[in-house]
């Protein structure tokens, strides 16, 4: 039997790569390489050179280059995803960014093919983790860290400036992304500066804890060139995204309720580390620092994400403090979704024992329990399915999310943070004020405090909705429009 003739490959067209048949091979003598062959440096003669990874080509080549193969792969280290097969003609690869014909590829793919110019605001604290992650991403050829700024510290790797203004003034035309691992009170003004310079912004969590400020940030965001990503890192983990997909597919039935139980001990040094720590206001401006909004914010957002909470319709809360601070360190909060599902948040920093957290979602046909940020159990029909994230630690998680943002992906854009911010403010409003825990229940040791019987109270509330004492009245989102900064200390003491 004669073989069916293979279709010829398409002739080359200006600005477009040569196409091959679906099986990836052309007829003998055609001269077009197999799909499995990677891009090669153009040779002037002799035997062909070995294929090179696309990331190496981006990092090393600084001249007009045509990528001829179909496997144009930007391989990320470790747990990162790999860009699939792309076909594109990339004109000049510049030291910082590449320019690609506007109609050559979809916008996100165009963005992903560019070598990103990155600036990091800050050097100390959590900013050091950003520098470490970007150093690895830079070694993989996915970005170039152009500059940083810090009022005190200096970087040994890149130019350092004393302010964001100065850094943007010197390097804005070399940048694509600016990351803001800075104190929460600086988020809104720095986000505005970055967006107004036409740059993409990666903003650490929480974006803000004050609803009027969030609305102002969203007004700024409306003119952003790309959605701002907020650093709720766990949301971007494929492990958690996979569970979310199963929930949305209806595998477990309808959601009945969900809860967070979190005990994260914090000592006096934690509240002394920054002028805004444990405060409700700073220099007359709202801060509202608290466990749910800051240290445990990842887990609060996890629960909102997994439960599909696009809106909070009602909140009741009881907020307490054992540490000598303005804000609360212990919370009992109930939030109702439009579907009638109740979310319960039970959290404290007032403990001297071990770190503990548990996210629980109860469905009609199963119970999903996150026993840690990277581990989950699915209880169904007497069986337990154990799931573990492939991302090994928090540093790798941050690197994964930063790499995704460089690739044009924002798992938790600023626009998705409305329920989170409203939850915090409505809890303050419902509580009627932060109540001190009775001194007779408090034990102090080594700068830490613990409260007699508190874990049992928190667990009873998270599991069964049993309040330790009467909560404040129910409040709805309409109350957010009555927020006034000058009433924070007077009404919420």
Q: What is the mean pLDDT of residues 436-448?
A: 94
**Model confidence over 308-336: pLDDT tens digits?**
999 999 999 999 999 999 999 999 999 99
Question: H or E stretch including 348?
Answer: strand 342-348
Q: What is the mean pLDDT of residues 479-490?
A: 72
Looking at 1.10.10.10, 3.40.50.720, 3.40.50.300, 3.30.360.10, the CATH number of the domain 112-231 comes to 3.40.50.720
- Distance CA(413)–CA(229), nearest Å, equals 4
Higher pLDDT, 31 or 82: 31
At residue 112, the pLDDT reads 55
Q: What is the mean pLDDT of residues 106-124?
A: 75
Domain ranges within the chain, ordered by starting residue: 50-102, 112-231, 234-405+414-491
Q: What is the mean pLDDT of residues 74-89?
A: 29
At residue 294, the pLDDT reads 96
The highest-confidence range among 62-66, 284-288, 469-473, by mean pLDDT, is: 469-473
Higher pLDDT, 404 or 85: 404
Residue of 482, 208, 454 whose CA lies nearest to 320:
454
Indicate whether 205 pLDDT > 70.
yes
Q: How far apart are the first and last CA of the chain?
A: 89
Instruction: Please report which confidence band the pLDDT of residue 491 belongs to, taking 50, 70 and 90 as the band edges.
Output: low
**Which pTM does this prediction carry?**
0.78
| Helices assigned H by DSSP within 285-341 | 297-306
Indicate whether 20 pLDDT > 80.
no
At residue 74, the pLDDT reads 32
At residue 115, the pLDDT reads 81
Q: Answer yes or no: are the C-beta atoms of 202 and 228 closer than 8 Å.
A: yes
At residue 482, the pLDDT reads 82
**Model confidence over 28-60: pLDDT tens digits?**
444 333 333 333 333 333 333 333 332 332 233
At residue 3, the pLDDT reads 45
Higher pLDDT, 108 or 154: 154
At residue 136, the pLDDT reads 96
Cα distances (Å, whole numbers) of residue 198 to 108, 115, 161, 191: 17, 17, 20, 11
% pLDDT > 90, the chain: 72
Burial of 413 (0-12, 13-18, 19+ CB in 10 A): middle
Higher pLDDT, 329 or 14: 329
Copy the structure tokens of residue 273.
């580390």
At residue 86, the 3 state secondary structure works out as coil
- Distance CA(90)–CA(100), nearest Å, equals 6
At residue 447, the pLDDT reads 87
Indicate whether 189 pLDDT > 50.
yes
Q: What is the mean pLDDT of residues 299-308?
A: 98
Residue of 82, 76, 55 whose CA lies nearest to 67:
55
At residue 464, the pLDDT reads 97
Residue of 455, 292, 262, 258 whose CA lies nearest to 369:
258
Residue of 286, 235, 190 whose CA lies nearest to 484:
286
At residue 75, the pLDDT reads 30
Torsion of CA 268, 269, 274, 276, to 10 degrees: -20
At residue 22, the pLDDT reads 38
**Model confidence over 332-360: pLDDT tens digits?**
999 999 999 999 999 999 999 999 999 99
Copy the structure tokens of residue 399.
């690197």
Instruction: Please report which confidence band the pLDDT of residue 127 belongs to, taking 50, 70 and 90 as the band edges.
Output: very high
At residue 487, the pLDDT reads 60
At residue 481, the pLDDT reads 87
Contacts of residue 190, Cβ cutoff 8 Å, sequence gap at least 6 = 121, 164, 180, 182
Instruction: Please report which confidence band the pLDDT of residue 81 belongs to, taking 50, 70 and 90 as the band edges.
Output: very low
* Mean pLDDT over each residue of the chain, to the nearest integer: 81
Q: What is the mean pLDDT of residues 157-185?
A: 97
Higher pLDDT, 279 or 100: 279
**Model confidence over 243-291: pLDDT tens digits?**
999 999 999 999 999 999 999 999 999 999 999 999 999 988 899 999 9
CATH superfamily of the domain spanning 234-405+414-491: Dihydrodipicolinate Reductase; domain 2 (3.30.360.10)
% pLDDT > 70, the chain: 75
At residue 111, the pLDDT reads 53
Q: What is the mean pLDDT of residues 147-170?
A: 96
Cα distances (Å, whole numbers) of residue 430 to 161, 337, 471, 479, 487: 44, 16, 8, 10, 14
**Model confidence over 381-419: pLDDT tens digits?**
999 999 999 999 999 999 999 999 999 999 999 999 999
At residue 284, the pLDDT reads 84
């Amino acid at each position: 039997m004669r073989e069916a003739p293979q279709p010829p490959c398409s002739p080359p067209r200006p600005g477009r790569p040569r196409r091959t048949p679906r099986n990836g091979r052309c007829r003998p003598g055609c001269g077009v390489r197999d799909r499995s062959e990677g891009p090669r440096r153009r040779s002037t003669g002799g035997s062909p050179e070995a294929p090179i990874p696309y990331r190496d080509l981006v990092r090393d080549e600084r001249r007009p280059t045509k990528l001829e193969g179909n496997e144009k792969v930007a391989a990320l280290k470790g747990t990162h995803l790999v860009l699939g097969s792309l076909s594109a003609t990339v004109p000049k690869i510049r030291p910082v960014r590449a320019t690609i014909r506007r109609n050559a590829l979809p916008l996100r793919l165009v963005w992903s093919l560019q070598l990103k110019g990155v600036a990091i605001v800050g050097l100390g604290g959590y900013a050091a983790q950003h520098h470490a992650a970007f150093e690895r991403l830079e070694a993989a050829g996915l970005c170039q860290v152009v500059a940083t700024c810090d009022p005190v510290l200096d970087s040994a790797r890149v130019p350092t400036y004393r302010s964001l203004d100065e850094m943007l003034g010197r390097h804005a035309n070399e940048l694509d992304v600016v990351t803001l691992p800075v104190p929460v009170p600086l988020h809104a003004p720095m986000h505005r500066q970055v967006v107004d310079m036409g740059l993409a912004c990666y903003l650490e969590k929480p974006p803000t804890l004050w609803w009027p400020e969030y609305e102002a940030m969203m007004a700024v965001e409306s003119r952003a060139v790309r959605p701002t990503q907020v650093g709720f890192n766990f949301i971007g983990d494929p492990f958690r995204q996979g569970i979310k997909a199963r929930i949305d597919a209806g595998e477990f039935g309808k959601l009945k309720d969900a809860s967070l139980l979190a005990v994260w001990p914090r000592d006096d040094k934690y509240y002394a580390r920054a002028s805004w720590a444990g405060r409700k206001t700073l220099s007359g401006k709202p801060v509202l620092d608290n466990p749910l909004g800051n240290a445990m914010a990842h887990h609060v957002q996890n629960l909102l994400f997994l439960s599909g909470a696009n809106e909070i319709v009602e909140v009741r809360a009881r907020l307490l403090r054992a540490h000598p601070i303005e804000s609360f360190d212990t919370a009992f909060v109930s939030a109702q979704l439009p579907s009638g599902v109740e979310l319960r948040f039970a959290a404290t920093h007032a403990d001297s024992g071990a770190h503990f957290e548990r996210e629980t979602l109860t469905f009609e046909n199963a119970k999903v329990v996150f026993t840690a940020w990277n581990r989950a159990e699915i209880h169904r029909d007497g069986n337990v399915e154990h799931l573990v994230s492939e991302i090994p630690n928090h540093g790798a998680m941050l690197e994964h999310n930063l790499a995704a943002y460089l690739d044009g992906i924002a798992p938790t854009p600023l626009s998705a943070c409305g329920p989170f911010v409203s939850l915090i403010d409505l809890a303050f409003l419902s509580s009627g004020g932060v109540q001190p825990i009775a001194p007779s229940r408090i034990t102090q040791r080594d700068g830490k405090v613990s409260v007699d019987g508190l874990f049992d109270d928190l667990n009873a509330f998270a599991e069964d909705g049993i309040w330790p004492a009467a909560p404040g009245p129910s409040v709805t989102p309409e109350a957010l429009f009555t927020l006034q900064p000058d009433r924070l200390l007077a009404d919420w003491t």
